[in-house]
Amino acid sequence: MATKKVTLVAKSQNPFLLNALAESNKTEKDVLTEKVQEFLSNAIIDCKQQIAEREISIRPRKLLELQKAENEVEKANKNYLKVKTSIPSNGHFQTYFNNLTAAEVTISESNYTIDCLIDQLRVIDLEILKLNRVLADLSI
């Protein structure tokens, strides 16, 4: 009776069976060709997505962060000039010196932030260039 069921399934137009039989008739070359085509199709989409993410989201956000950091440096420089010519409320030299040092540290930290953001923008630009080269290679 088990052979009777198998025969019925084999003679029917069962889509699972038809798919399995179609797959078994493929040559190794056909299977590899399909894998490569699927990889290329997905890789091109992924690459375009990565480029768009960097160009439309990450880079503009970093540029805005850079503008904000530049504003902070300007503010820190103004504060330094103010502190440099201000007498501390308690009249002590050490307070004046500490305030002056703190203002200089703020300027240094703000400049460091700017340098880091500029480096990050360079990296993003290099990534975009590399992704465009990869996209060109994938699209051949």
The predicted structure's pLDDT at residue 112:
98
Q: How many domains does the chain have?
A: 1
Residue 13 lies in a domain: no
Judge residue 105's burial from the number of C-beta atoms within 10 Å of its C-beta, 0-12 exposed, 13-18 middle, 19 or more buried: exposed
The predicted structure's pLDDT at residue 16:
73
Question: Is the distance from CB of 16 to CB of 100 less than 8 angstroms?
Answer: no
The arithmetic mean of pLDDT across residues 79-101, rounded, is 95
Residue 7 lies in a domain: no
pLDDT band at residue 22 under the 50/70/90 scheme: confident
Q: In whole angstroms, what is the distance from residue 96 CA to residue 78 CA?
A: 16
The arithmetic mean of pLDDT across residues 28-40, rounded, is 88
3-state DSSP helix/strand/coil % of the chain, to nearest 5: 90, 0, 10
Q: In whole angstroms, what is the distance from residue 76 CA to residue 110 CA?
A: 8
Domain that holds residue 116: 28-138
